[in-house]
Amino acid sequence: METIYGIGIDIVETRRVEASIRDYGERFLDRLFTPGERSYCESMHYAARHFAARFAAKEAIAKAFGTGIGTDLAWRDMEILRDGLGCPHVALSGRGALFAERTGIVEVKISLSHAEDYAAAHALALSRAD
């Protein structure tokens, strides 16, 4: 059985992410997104919408963890993947995986949404019930 460790939500203006990609290019993309995330987003017609959704997801996860982005959790410690049905899910690595292990977080559920102007995400961190 699991219990809720934390929840997080975030909304991002797509045009701000698009501007960061335009202004900072590879430096921005490499700092925030894994190669798998980049490959997926860049294959989409409106790539900025998909990058914005993943940006929002990472912010939502940081809120659910209660850490923010920094000491315990880096941008690329969280990877937003898709399963065989296209549903998003989270893979943790590095400091994010260590934090989850230390705090008993066993799963992070994620929901993404995006439209022309905004992308949003909700994260639910579940921990072992003791």
Structure confidence by residue, pLDDT tens digits, 13-48: 999 999 999 999 999 999 999 999 999 999 999 999
CA dihedral in degrees (8, 89, 13, 95; nearest 10)?
70
Q: Which of 45, 58, 89, 114 is labelled catalytic? A: 114
Q: What are the residue boundaries of the structural domains of the chain, listed by start?
A: 2-128
Tokens of 23: 């202004």
Structure confidence by residue, pLDDT tens digits, 112-126: 999 999 999 999 999
Q: Which of 63, 89, 109, 122 is labelled catalytic? A: 63
Tell me, yes or no, if 122 is annotated catalytic. Answer: no
Average pLDDT, the chain: 96
pLDDT over threshold 80, residue 130: no
Provide mean pLDDT across the span 56-65. Answer: 98
What pLDDT is stored for residue 129 in this prediction?
81
Provide mean pLDDT across the span 73-93. Answer: 96
CATH architecture of 2-128: Alpha-Beta Complex (3.90)
Tell me, yes or no, if 50 is annotated catalytic. Answer: no
Residue type, 107: E
Structure confidence by residue, pLDDT tens digits, 86-105: 999 999 999 999 999 999 99
Chain mean position to CA 86: 16
CA dihedral in degrees (43, 49, 52, 56; nearest 10)?
-110
